[in-house]
Amino acid sequence: MVDVTIRVNGQARSLDIPPQVSLLDALRERFGLTGPKKGCDQGACGACTVLADGERINSCLALAVQYDGREITTIEGVDDPLQTAFVRNDGLQCGYCTPGQICSALGMLAEYKDGAPSAVTEPDADPGELTEEEIRERMSGNLCRCGAYNGIVKAIQETAALDTEEVSS
Amino acid sequence: MTALQQRTGSVGTPVDRVDGVAKTTGTARFSAEHTYPGLTYAAVVHATISRGRITAIDTTRAADIAGVIKVITPENAPPLKPAPRVSMLNMSSIVSGTSVNYLQDNEVHWDGQPVAVVVAETSEAAKEAAALVDVTYRTTESSVDFVTARLQAQVQKGNPLLPAGAKKGDAAAALAGAAVSVDAEYTTPPYNHNALEPHSTTAAWDGDRLTVHDATQSIGWFRTHLALRFGIPEANVRVIAPYVGGGFGGKAFVWPGTVLAALAARATGRPVRLTLTREGVYRTVGGRTPSIQRVALGATQDGKLTALIHQSVARVGRTGGMPEQITTQSRHLYAAENILLEQRAVEQDVLPTTSMRAPGESIGTFALESAIDELADVLGIDPIDLRMHNEPDRDPVDGKPFAHRMLREAYAEGARRFGWSARSPQPRSMNDGRWLVGMGVASAFHPLMLFTSNVTVRLSADGTVLVRCGFQEMGMGGATVQGQIAADALGVPFDAVRVEYGDSALPSAPMAGGSMQTASVANSILEACAKIRASLESLAKRSGAVGQAPKAVLAKAGVPHVEAAVGSDTRLGKVTGQMRMMRQVMRDRRYLRAATGAHFCEVRVDQDTGELRVSRWTSVFDVGRVINPKTAGSQLRGGIIMGIGMALAEETLFDPRTGRIMNPSLAEYHLPVHADIPAIDVSWLGDPDPTMPLGLLGLGEVGITGVAAAVANAVHHATGRRVRDLPITLDKLVP
């Protein structure tokens, strides 16, 4: 057994767990934070996406013990205009992939702002306005079987534009 | 017009879905997210042979893992009653995924069948121990390879609701004598639903009462089924499922996990949560049948169809299955003079197949609508013109009138929106740099039934409305749409209506399947609201409040609320409901009712690598009146996207020697991702269907039908290459 303390949504939480417990299972089954979802348990669907010190990760591929002393944000700790944009644009149906899509999008927007390259943008290119193509490329790690992709892309684009307006004004 | 009759105009407006906030903030609790004191975790051990017997199970190593409570095997499992025989008189009997009585004997019927269940204090311990259960088998010869078994396929039995064939004239002779003909074989692979939420059941016993949180699209039938399997009264079982993470048919039937969770809870005396791994979903929840289809078309030189032959082979398991009504659309889409439709199925030693979004038409339209395109190509006629030239006035086989048919209008509107006139008719004649560009069309078709549903509606003196109905919500938007319908029917604002659903303790509703839930529930809500309006009117007369708002009427009459029920779940109520249902079915047999549509697809194919991209999509549907354009649009798009997956990427791979699924994961079974899907333009004609409540036609399934053919037809137009074997992967396109 291993002692672990993780800051989850701003609150320090301690656990005594076997080392093989994934971060996702620790969040869901130990902390009762069921916002992050388990769709595949192998990093293929993105439903378990959370933010670790602001960066998006698949929490099913992470061991809880690796995150000792780190800051984890789950959907329960997110309060962002992106959430209402998802509802307004119907970027969801069953809702199972939604927490992962939202956390992933928040991480992605930060990556984009920091100039992280993608298959769509060259490494040294000036990141201009976030295009639909760019969003699709960068969000392709998050599956949605209901097929809410169009609404998700719109919600992200709207929110990104909002963000840009705030910065420029 | 009284205040009661004034419409608030909620129907037809794009209201945000009512559970949107819960789903975007993480407060929505799915079936694996309900906890109980002393909750335990279960994991399944799967058989590794396709047919035979267990000769020994050694649980020593598993039982040694710290935290393991019990390893349940056929040697120590509590008794379970067998699944009911399927009977049309008891609709719930169709809900068994398989006929196997789990852990009651040593027989193995498919690779992946549960042979033991481990219950432990933590999910990690259960998982680890499940891997340490040692099972020894004696194998028996099995049939698992679909391609070689096709010759053993038997003619499928139909039923009055789903005919398995049709014959009009002499299609074979007409084909032989036709001026122009095409005759080809089309194949589709097995597919899996892959709802993102894996199946999960949390089961808790309290004496002889069982509560189950299950990821199901069939709450009421699950309750009946579980009561029967465990020998307890139906009233003792409660199935709760307010949030279901996608279903698409995969959660319609009872699969082993649900039964085993309840069995494990009974065996341990503790509440049990059994969440299938993604691999476990593939091993224990049926998928779509593979198919081999022949479509042969004969026509005159000017494109009049003289012969239409559609023959299919599907597969079922030896312990149950769903062969799909693959030729249905071929019975209704074209005015061919001679028609022959035949469906065959072969029984194999595999997990039973099951219904998956638009069973039958999803894969049947691939063959038919590809063949029509091939014929258009041979004739040198525009594929839309060929379709319109053969558009029937009445149902082609039996001459029934259509309840509603606007396929011509759908094609005209679609062609305008898509810009079909820019298409050059010759294959491989359009390009954009290194990309070959192609445009294709295909028809969407999905027949519709209406079921009965029980509901109660209550209007309270504070002006709020409570609708109670045990329907299921998996993202279709039912809770939102039914609220809109009730709001308008009672003349109250949408926000004043609350809808309770997803619980078998509520008045029973049909399963979510066959695109019938919305209309079936709406029908009863409208009836209940009419009763409430009548009660209000008489109250108003008595208390001198005629013409006043409902709130005022109730206040003046000194009545706290008015409630109306439609249907009842008593024994007598169920019999009456069944009779009502049969009357409705008989009435509906007088005409053909279906949702239809026209798909327009543009693809780009890299001339050297075969890389294939869907670059544009337009679909126009005839789905009757649309209650909520926002949720309806999402559902139609979702169907189209699943169809694009069918066409280009998805395929469940069975090892032809062992019958084991080789790609039981989301890494190896390829679903469409964001980057695969362009902005999809969907619209509808909006004309109400005269035979349906509010004129609405169900639209959960029509979206996927025809999609794979539209893609294949566009690929042919882009490349000159006709791919008749799905999925259209790039190895089939490289030069």
B194 touches chain A (CB under 8 A): yes
Alpha carbons B327 and B576: distance in angstroms, whole number: 34
Residue A125 belongs to domain with CATH number: 1.10.150.120
Alpha carbons B137 and B151: distance in angstroms, whole number: 30
**Taking CB atoms and an 8 Å cutoff, what residues of chain B touch A29?**
122-123
CA nearest to A141 within chain B: B673
Alpha helices in B324-402 (DSSP H): 328-332, 361-379, 383-389
Answer yes or no: do A73 and A85 share one domain: no
A18 touches chain B (CB under 8 A): yes
| pLDDT tens by residue, B473-482 | 999 999 999 9
For residue A22, what is the DSSP state?
B
Structure tokens at B524: 């009863």
Which CATH architecture does the domain made up of B3-28+450-588 adopt? 2-Layer Sandwich (3.30)
A105 touches chain B (CB under 8 A): no
Alpha carbons A166 and A113: distance in angstroms, whole number: 14
Alpha carbons B549 and A93: distance in angstroms, whole number: 35
* Of B463, B535, B548, nearest in space to B497 by CA: B463
CA nearest to A139 within chain B: B674
* Of B392, B336, B342, nearest in space to B166 by CA: B342
Residue B2 pLDDT more than 50? no
Structure tokens at B462: 């504070």
pLDDT at B551: 86
Alpha helices in A14-148 (DSSP H): 23-25, 81-88, 98-113, 132-138
* Residue A162 pLDDT grade (very low, low, confident, very high; cuts 50, 70, 90): confident
Mean pLDDT across the stretch B10-26?
A: 97
Alpha carbons B32 and A20: distance in angstroms, whole number: 21
Which residues 6+ apart lie within 8 Å of A124 measured at CB?
none
CA nearest to B67 within chain A: A18
Answer yes or no: do A98 and A129 share one domain: yes
pLDDT at B587: 86
* Of B441, B726, B443, B442, nearest in space to B612 by CA: B726
Residue B497 pLDDT more than 50? yes
A28 touches chain B (CB under 8 A): yes
pLDDT at A167: 55
Mean pLDDT across the stretch A29-39?
A: 97
Distances in Å between the Cα of B481 and the Cα atoms of A34, B245, B494, B507, B630 are 27, 18, 10, 18, 10
SS3 B107: strand
Buried b (16+ CB within 10 A) or exposed e, B572-602: eeeeebeeebeebeeebeeebbbbbbbbbbb
Structure tokens at B240: 């709760």
Number of residues that make up chain B: 735
**Taking CB atoms and an 8 Å cutoff, what residues of chain A touch B671?**
143, 145
Q: What is the DSSP string of B214-234?
A: E--S-HHHHHHHHHHHHT--G
**Taking CB atoms and an 8 Å cutoff, what residues of chain A touch B42?**
none
Name the residue among B17, B33, B666 with its Cβ closest to that of A40. B666
Structure tokens at B271: 């509440």
Tell the residue number behind the tokens 């004239």, with chain if given: B169
Residue A58 belongs to domain with CATH number: 3.10.20.30
CB B260 within 8 A of CB B114: yes
* Backbone phi, psi, residue B720, to 5°: 80, 0
Structure tokens at A74: 């789950």
Structure tokens at A8: 């989850």
**Taking CB atoms and an 8 Å cutoff, what residues of chain A touch B16?**
87-88, 90
pLDDT at B206: 98
Within 13 Å, how many C-alpha atoms sit on residue B474's CB side?
Answer: 31
pLDDT at B89: 73
Name the residue among A25, A74, A143 with its Cβ closest to that of B123. A25
**Taking CB atoms and an 8 Å cutoff, what residues of chain B touch A140?**
673-675
**Taking CB atoms and an 8 Å cutoff, what residues of chain A touch B121?**
none
Look at strands B134-139 and B40-46 and give their pairing: unpaired
Q: Which residues of B have a catalytic role annotated?
A: 701
- Per the prediction, chain B carries an average pLDDT of 95
Specify burial of residue B399 (Cβ count, 10 A radius: 0-12, 13-18, 19+).
exposed
* Backbone phi, psi, residue B346, to 5°: -120, 140
Name the residue among A35, A135, A145 with its Cβ closest to that of B195. A145
Domain end residue (candidates: A61, A77, A93): A77
Residue A126 pLDDT more than 80? no
Name the residue among A42, A44, A145 with its Cβ closest to that of B246. A145
Which residues 6+ apart lie within 8 Å of B551 measured at CB?
B461, B462, B463
Answer yes or no: do A99 and A56 share one domain: no
ipTM: 0.97
* Backbone phi, psi, residue B459, to 5°: -110, 120
CA nearest to B282 within chain A: A40
pLDDT at B8: 57
Check CB contact under 8 Å for B278 and A40: yes
Angle subtended at Cα B563 by Cα B558 and Cα B566, rounded to the nearest 5 degrees: 160
- Surface of B (235-254) touching A: CB under 8 A: 243-246, 248
Distances in Å between the Cα of B233 and the Cα atoms of B203, B216, B226, B229, B502 are 17, 20, 10, 10, 20
Within 13 Å, how many C-alpha atoms sit on residue B102's CB side?
Answer: 28
Alpha carbons B59 and B136: distance in angstroms, whole number: 12
* Of B156, B47, B41, nearest in space to B100 by CA: B47
**Taking CB atoms and an 8 Å cutoff, what residues of chain B touch A86?**
20, 24
Please state, for a pLDDT cut of 90, what percent of chain B lies above it: 90
Alpha carbons B500 and B478: distance in angstroms, whole number: 11
Check CB contact under 8 Å for B278 and A42: yes
Domain end residue (candidates: A31, A52, A77): A77
Residue B4 pLDDT more than 80? no
Check CB contact under 8 Å for A99 and B26: yes
Q: In the 3-class helix/strand/coil scheme, how is B570-633 assigned residue by residue? A: CHHHHHHHHHHHHHHHHHHCCCECEEEEEEEEEEEEECCCCCEEEEEEEEEEECECCCCHHHHH
Alpha carbons B152 and B356: distance in angstroms, whole number: 24
Check CB contact under 8 Å for B677 and A149: yes
**What domain range includes position A17?**
2-77
**Taking CB atoms and an 8 Å cutoff, what residues of chain B touch A147?**
634, 637-642, 672, 677
Strands (E), B111-164: 114-120, 134-139, 154-155
- Per the prediction, chain A carries an average pLDDT of 94
Check CB contact under 8 Å for A28 and B246: no
Radius of gyration of the CA atoms of chain A, in A: 16
pLDDT at B29: 97
Correct CATH for B148-191+288-448+593-732 of 3.30.365.10, 3.90.700.10, 3.20.20.80, 3.30.2310.20: 3.30.365.10
Which residues 6+ apart lie within 8 Å of B199 measured at CB?
B214, B215, B250, B251, B255, B257, B258, B275, B276, B280, B281, B284, B285
pLDDT at B140: 97
Answer yes or no: do A22 and A58 share one domain: yes
pLDDT at A127: 67
pLDDT at B711: 98
**Taking CB atoms and an 8 Å cutoff, what residues of chain A touch B23?**
92, 95, 98
Mean pLDDT across the stretch B372-400?
A: 97
Within 13 Å, how many C-alpha atoms sit on residue B694's CB side?
Answer: 29
- Surface of A (37-56) touching B: CB under 8 A: 37-45, 47
pLDDT at A46: 98
| pLDDT tens by residue, B430-463 | 999 999 999 999 999 999 988 899 999 999 999 9
Mutate to test the interface with B, among A145, A156, A159 (most CBs of B within 10 A): A145
Domain end residue (candidates: A18, A51, A77): A77
Name the residue among A83, A137, A150 with its Cβ closest to that of B24. A83
CA dihedral of B360, B622, B624, B362, whole degrees rounded to 10:
10
Specify burial of residue B426 (Cβ count, 10 A radius: 0-12, 13-18, 19+).
exposed
Mean pLDDT across the stretch B11-29?
A: 97
pLDDT at B161: 67
B278 touches chain A (CB under 8 A): yes
Domain ranges in chain B with CATH number 3.30.365.10: 3-28+450-588, 34-141+196-246+251-284, 148-191+288-448+593-732
Mean pLDDT across the stretch B706-723?
A: 98
Structure tokens at B338: 């001679």
Answer yes or no: do A48 and A103 share one domain: no
Check CB contact under 8 Å for A38 and B671: no
Check CB contact under 8 Å for A25 and B638: no
Residue A8 pLDDT more than 70? yes
| pLDDT tens by residue, B55-65 | 999 999 999 99
- Does B34-141+196-246+251-284 carry CATH code 3.30.365.10? yes
Structure tokens at A34: 């069921």
CA-based nearest distance B2→chain A, Å: 34
A131 touches chain B (CB under 8 A): no
Alpha carbons B116 and B43: distance in angstroms, whole number: 9
Specify burial of residue A119 (Cβ count, 10 A radius: 0-12, 13-18, 19+).
exposed
Answer yes or no: do A66 and A97 share one domain: no
Mutate to test the interface with A, among B17, B27, B191, B196 (most CBs of A within 10 A): B196
| pLDDT tens by residue, B642-680 | 999 999 999 999 999 999 999 999 999 999 999 999 999
Answer yes or no: do A13 and A44 share one domain: yes
Distances in Å between the Cα of B526 and the Cα atoms of B14, B458, B490, B677 are 20, 13, 9, 38
Residue B5 pLDDT more than 70? no
**Least confident interval from A4-18, B282-296, B543-557:** B543-557
pLDDT at B91: 78
Answer yes or no: do A92 and A52 share one domain: no
Q: How many domains are there within chain A?
A: 2
Check CB contact under 8 Å for A150 and B680: yes
